Structure 1
């Protein structure tokens, strides 16, 4: 009996240590996702200042293609954009004459994956939430075609040509995870190759919809792969080749932040689930949330330690009792 109790305590201790180790590992990943990010930060005014009109001596690296994705979850088969999104789309068409514009529907998105990346089709079809297919297809479009991807709730304030002289950039809202609402790249950039091949091993279904979307295909996933990619690059001093340098275009919407020269933000929130608001509150109070988490872990550890100590004291008392009593 004593041996079985001792084994039980050891197993519980191993389970607790394993759980704590997993939680710490996840928190370290979240630290990479939510805090300072690798890559070269550039503001939109800096991009505008660096561009010298039609005489810019730099090579244009990104093709003049604008990708947008519209999957009508509420009325499948109806590919007509809502009037407000059509109005926003027109701001980009007017500001960028002569560019190729591609609007990807649910049908054309799946056909593209099936034709060009059939190895991913099973995962694509199996995604639990429709927005995950919208997330995934944008990455493959940039890998295959290159160009600029915009969510349908993002409009254009100016000609996007000055943004084409960088090999690859994504948007950084200035706090929390990086964003995947506006992305740009030359075709076949190695970052997108690494990211698209990471989609399958990351395609877990978590309890919370927001975590599943963000961590399996969305912003958290993109940010984690971004940090992984940079960890594999040699230091900039050893690799002056700009072809593999990644840029973060700052799109902080706080009043004190740099001006948005090229883009606007309109109506969004089409994939809101029941837990979105909770995680947005956590993001706004991340330090307090982490403090509560570590406090809870500390109390759990203290409780286990106290339980083990009581067990040892009780076991010592039992061990010192005589084997039998005289009557």
Structure 2
């Protein structure tokens, strides 16, 4: 006669099924970062055309303050706050093309003072990030939440006035494939997206086995994309939504209207080359991840089955 299906049998079965479902949901959620993103996407040409063709400026709402934030943390020589020459040229291009705008350069000292003064609840997390780039990643979100304006990485410069970009309550840049990018961001102070971004940082501040995942998913581009998706899932009011502005740098893509890029990935680690390959072979990678999800789910069920056999080995159906 078959073994009796006692409480421990069903408990082990439930644990196995829940384990499999959790793995599937986590992997699906992770892969979603690289899929289609919510919200309106605009090309830079469309932004410029909308600015030039709409009603006079005095009748339009400008959300973004005329502030350009850039961050320079000299990791090799912390006391040296002078920008490298190319980055200084980038910054100068934005100052020259945007007269009347404020240009703020955040150093390690002023950055930490800002967090300590305005967001002391985050200071311990800020100080204890495993990688220094994570301080810069998180700082940019807090600066936009508090002051608003446009944040730009030091290796980005300006090709023309940024004035047309002020008429969207919050925006991020989208390379047109994969995760969103956090090298250029903007918005009004206290926009709900920046509040969600900053309020969620502590819960995502995990250290993963690979540096790239720790940086990207705890504070960087993957984190930004995850919170972007979360924002649109949770949105319940009718306030203006953030938009995505296309900055596709692939061969054959449209030339950027507003920004230049001089290169300078100072945060790269040993595993960046591997993830660069993944970015170039995204569909193949997703297929591998999906296959592994199935294998892991089957493994969970198999473990539960073996556990059931072990727990129920001495439970026999009573014979009549």
Whether the TM-score (by the shorter chain) exceeds 0.5 is yes
Q: TM-score, normalised by structure 2?
A: 0.86
Partner of 1:287: 283
Check the 8 A contact 1:66/1:99 in 2, yes or no.
yes
Check the 8 A contact 1:167/1:243 in 2, yes or no.
no
Check the 8 A contact 2:21/2:297 in 1, yes or no.
no
For structure 2, the 5+ residue unaligned runs are: 310-314, 316-320
Asked whether 1:223 is paired with 2:215, we answer no
Q: Select 1:166's aligned residue among 146, 165, 168.
A: 168
Check the 8 A contact 2:24/2:297 in 1, yes or no.
no
Q: Select 1:277's aligned residue among 273, 287, 298.
A: 273
Query: Quick one: distance in 2 between partners of 1:177 and 1:60?
Result: 28
Query: Quick one: distance in 2 between partners of 1:45 and 1:21?
Result: 44
Partner of 1:150: 152
**Structure 1 residues 8, 221: CA separation in 2 closer, same or farther (over 3 Å shift)?**
same
Query: Quick one: distance in 2 between partners of 1:200 and 1:273?
Result: 23
Check the 8 A contact 1:209/1:273 in 2, yes or no.
yes
**Structure 1 residues 98, 209: CA separation in 2 closer, same or farther (over 3 Å shift)?**
same
Query: Quick one: distance in 2 between partners of 1:68 and 1:86?
Result: 11
Query: Quick one: distance in 2 between partners of 1:140 and 1:185?
Result: 11
Q: How far apart are residue 290 of structure 1 and its match?
A: 2.5
Q: Select 1:109's aligned residue among 105, 108, 111.
A: 111
Q: How far apart are residue 39 of structure 1 and its match?
A: 1.2
Partner of 1:135: 137
Q: In the TM superposition, what whole-angstrom CA distance separates every residue of 1:308-327 from its partner, at most 9, and x where no partner exists? A: 999999xxxxx9xxxxxxxx
- Higher Cα radius of gyration: 1
> Does the residue aligned with 2:248 lie in a helix, a strand or coil?
coil
Q: In the TM superposition, what whole-angstrom CA distance separates every residue of 1:29-51 from its partner, at most 9, and x where no partner exists? A: 22331111011111110111111
Partner of 2:262: 266
**Structure 1 residues 11, 208: CA separation in 2 closer, same or farther (over 3 Å shift)?**
farther
> Does the residue aligned with 1:201 lie in a helix, a strand or coil?
helix
**Structure 1 residues 195, 55: CA separation in 2 closer, same or farther (over 3 Å shift)?**
closer
For structure 1, the 5+ residue unaligned runs are: 235-240, 314-318, 320-327
Query: Quick one: distance in 2 between partners of 1:60 and 1:10?
Result: 60
Partner of 2:200: 198
Query: Quick one: distance in 2 between partners of 1:19 and 1:311?
Result: 14
> Does the residue aligned with 2:184 lie in a helix, a strand or coil?
strand
**Structure 1 residues 72, 225: CA separation in 2 closer, same or farther (over 3 Å shift)?**
same
Query: Quick one: distance in 2 between partners of 1:145 and 1:125?
Result: 22
Q: How far apart are residue 297 of structure 1 and its match?
A: 4.5
Q: In the TM superposition, what whole-angstrom CA distance separates every residue of 1:237-274 from its partner, at most 9, and x where no partner exists? A: xxxx9743111011011233333100011122100011
Check the 8 A contact 1:172/1:178 in 2, yes or no.
yes
Partner of 1:85: 87
> Does the residue aligned with 2:80 lie in a helix, a strand or coil?
coil
Query: Quick one: distance in 2 between partners of 1:255 and 1:39?
Result: 25
Query: Quick one: distance in 1 between partners of 2:296 and 2:25?
Result: 18
Q: Select 2:101's aligned residue among 94, 99, 102.
A: 99
Check the 8 A contact 2:64/2:186 in 1, yes or no.
yes
Q: How far apart are residue 233 of structure 1 and its match?
A: 2.1
Partner of 1:47: 47
Check the 8 A contact 1:66/1:148 in 2, yes or no.
yes
Partner of 1:254: 250
- Single out whichever of 114-123 and 302-311 deviates more from structure 2: 302-311
Partner of 2:38: 38
**Structure 1 residues 31, 311: CA separation in 2 closer, same or farther (over 3 Å shift)?**
closer
